[in-house]
Amino acid sequence: MISHEDSPNDRLATTSASGSRIYLYPTDVKGKLRKLRNIVYDILIVIFLVMPWIRIGGQPVLLFDIPHRKFHIFGLSFWGHDAPMLFLVFLTVVASILLLTALFGRVWCGWGCPQTVFIDRVFRRIERWIEGPSGKRKK
C-alpha cells in the first residue's frame, strides 16, 4: 500500500518510476449496503436499456431531432422557435443539477451514474467471471 508521503508528485500514481503501468486489482466489497447498491444497479440497468424504446404520445421519451428542430422531452414537443423558453427551462435544470451535485454529488457518483453502474455491475462481474477474484488476478 502506498502512503500519502510515498505517492509521486511528478507522475500518475498508477505508473512506475520507469513509466510502465501499475495494474490495480480491486477486491469485492461485501455488506448490507453493497446488496442494496446491487439492487439499485439492477433497476437502473433495466431503465437505461429500456428507455430508448419507451414511447409517450407516439414519440420516444427523449428525442433531440436537431436537423428538423424538433425536440420531444417526456411527452412534450418543442420546436426550434421555442428556443428562448427552452433556454430558461434548461438554465433552470442546469442550475438545479449544479445545486444537487454540490449537495449530493457523491451519492450520484456512487449509486446512480451510468458509468459507475455499468462498470461496477456489468464489466467487473465479467472480469471476475473470466479472470477470477482479485487475489487470483494479481498472481
pLDDT digits over 23-42, tens only? 877 788 888 888 898 899 99
d(CA 63, CA 81): 17
Q: Please tell me which residue, 13 or 56, carries the higher pLDDT value.
A: 56
pTM of the model as a whole: 0.59
C-alpha cell at 84: 428562448
At 29, which amino acid appears? V
Note the pLDDT tens digit of each residue in 95-137.
998 898 888 888 888 888 888 889 888 888 888 888 888 788 8
Residue 8 — pLDDT band, cuts 50, 70, 90?
low
Percent of the chain at pLDDT exceeding 70: 94
CA-derived radius of gyration, the chain: 22
Query: What element of type H or E holds 78?
Result: strand 76-79
The predicted pLDDT at position 137 comes to 81
Return the half-sphere exposure (C-beta side, CA atoms, 13 A cut-off) of residue 15.
9
